[in-house]
Amino acid sequence: MSFKEVFDQYHWDDIKSSIYNKTAEDVERALRHSDRDIEDFKALISPAAAPYLEQMAQISHELTLQRFGNTMQLYAPLYLSNECQNICTYCGFSLDNKIRRKTLNDIEIAREVKAVKDMGFQHILLVTGEANQTVGVDYIERAIKQIRPHFANVSMEVQPLDQEDYERLIQQGLHSVLVYQETYHKADYKIHHPKGKKSNFYYRLETPDRLGKAGIHKMGLGALIGLEDWRVDSFFVALHLDYLERKYWKTKYSLSFPRLRPFSGGLEPKVEMVDRELVQLICTYRLFNQEVELSLSTRETNQFRNHAIKLGITTMSAGSKTNPGGYAVEPQSLEQFEISDERSPEVIKTILEQNGYEPVWKDWDLALESAI
Ligand code: SF4
């Protein structure tokens, strides 16, 4: 059974009313549990949990310390291309956005790699739009072959692929894949993805299944916050995670919580999520799952990121550029979205240390991980 069959048993409106009907009693029960289930998740994500935020933050902090210690993994994204054949209403790279398109060649990739390495990073996240003619699997495979020897860990966030393609890329040393569903609301998904391969809701929904079957080391899930009711979307992320962990138990998992950010030609969020609510979401994920990595990008403000260090986050990007060639080749090309925290990796490192955290540029070698 793939996640599609699980997903189809749930109805958005029923989940929504069951979350909004949770009471203080449900929240207190969820807080008392040591092994929390999906009903506890609903209670903790509900409006009824707002008065318990301090308590949730404290538990989240302790659980994260127990499992991950005082460490923070650091990574940088490397945008290889802004070519894209899809229309996504919230993205600067959307096909209908008239921008100059750019795909890095081998020489340009080498320059970007050097710039990212010079900042100290050992973990890199490769990002492209979806344009099979220019940045299809062959291009990605070649890029991974070129980049892998320079980094301890290579992740990617590109279009969903077939299982065989993932197998091919894993053979080249690909460690993890991030694939966000954007929204689990089927009708709204259609509105935000009217054209291109990405408009196929179920193909995207089943991507983590294909990754699990391909034997990926780690995968990242999430919803884009602002498209639909974030509490319901987050419920589906938790449900998806729970399903995947049981089925593909050799794979590790990470979650992200990107909030819509301004970009050229931007979309106003349908649903605003305030900072306190993002804290609630981070803590709820941690209280629900003690093993999952929680990742925070430079979309968030300096102040929020400083505060979030002790909430349950285990992974952060720093000094990010969200345009192809942004580090060294073509710093002025158009970004996918505006980043908010523009501080250098060096500054982030100092802040982590001031908070008693050890910045980790590299955890351990893949060879070691595979041997365990
Ligand atoms: S979100 Fe991805 S698929 Fe959609 S337009 Fe942007 S780059 Fe293309």
For atom 4 of ligand 1, which residue has the closest CA? 88
* Residue 52 pLDDT: 98
* Residue 364 pLDDT: 56
Mutate to test the pocket of ligand 1, among 82, 83, 88 (most ligand atoms within 8 A of CB): 88
The finding on whether 227 has its CB within 6 A of some atom of ligand 1 is no
* Residue 371 pLDDT: 45
Mutate to test the pocket of ligand 1, among 97, 98, 130, 267 (most ligand atoms within 8 A of CB): 130
* Residue 372 pLDDT: 40
The finding on whether 12 has its CB within 6 A of some atom of ligand 1 is no
The finding on whether 84 has its CB within 6 A of some atom of ligand 1 is yes
- Find the 232 Cα to ligand 1 centroid distance in Å: 23
pLDDT digit string (tens) for the chain, length 372 residues: 899 999 999 999 999 999 999 999 999 999 999 899 999 999 999 999 999 999 999 999 999 999 999 999 999 999 999 999 999 999 989 999 888 999 999 999 999 999 999 999 999 999 999 999 999 999 999 999 999 999 999 999 999 999 999 999 999 999 999 999 999 999 999 999 998 899 999 999 999 999 999 999 999 999 999 999 999 999 999 999 999 999 999 999 999 999 987 665 567 788 889 999 999 999 999 999 999 999 999 989 999 999 999 999 999 999 999 999 999 998 877 777 778 888 999 999 999 999 999 999 876 554 445 444
* Residue 268 pLDDT: 79
The finding on whether 128 has its CB within 6 A of some atom of ligand 1 is no
- Find the 83 Cα to ligand 1 centroid distance in Å: 9
- Find the 128 Cα to ligand 1 centroid distance in Å: 8
- Find the 103 Cα to ligand 1 centroid distance in Å: 14
- Find the 338 Cα to ligand 1 centroid distance in Å: 15
Beta carbons within 8 Å of 46's beta carbon, 6+ residues apart: 19, 20, 22, 26, 27, 231
* Residue 269 pLDDT: 82
* Residue 138 pLDDT: 97
Buried/exposed 361-371: b ≥16 CB within 10 Å, e otherwise: beeeeeeeeee
- Find the 155 Cα to ligand 1 centroid distance in Å: 17
* Residue 272 pLDDT: 84
* Residue 247 pLDDT: 98
The finding on whether 91 has its CB within 6 A of some atom of ligand 1 is yes
- Find the 85 Cα to ligand 1 centroid distance in Å: 8
Q: What are phi and psi of 8, to 5 degrees?
A: -70, -10
* Residue 330 pLDDT: 83
The finding on whether 88 has its CB within 6 A of some atom of ligand 1 is yes
Beta carbons within 8 Å of 107's beta carbon, 6+ residues apart: none
The finding on whether 288 has its CB within 6 A of some atom of ligand 1 is no
The Cα diameter of the chain in Å comes to: 60
